[in-house]
Amino acid sequence: MNPATPIVSRRQKTTHPNHHLWNNNGTWWLHCTIHLQDFTKWRLRKNLRTTDVREARQLRDHILSGNPADLATL
């Protein structure tokens, strides 16, 4: 791993199908913490703009499967 590469925190049990997701009044959001190499952290909260949990899971998986450095641009 490159020392400048951020790391996405995975505190929740990843066996839970809705990890990193929460429902806010019917709209699904992504929430994760990115740990940076300078020992700081950045909390990402992104509105997924969907009311469908299956679509929210697909969006979450797509976002988290990419390069963690790209999460800072969301």
Tell me the C-alpha to C-alpha distance, in Å, between residue 22 and each of 14, 37, 54. Answer: 14, 27, 13
Per-residue pLDDT of the chain (74 residues; tens, 9 = 90+): 455 666 555 555 567 899 899 999 999 999 988 887 888 888 889 999 999 999 999 999 998 888 766 776 66
Tell me the C-alpha to C-alpha distance, in Å, between residue 74 and each of 37, 46, 70. Answer: 19, 8, 7
Q: What is the pTM (predicted TM-score) of this model?
A: 0.72
Structural domain spans, the chain: 1-51
Q: Give the per-residue pLDDT at 15.
A: 73
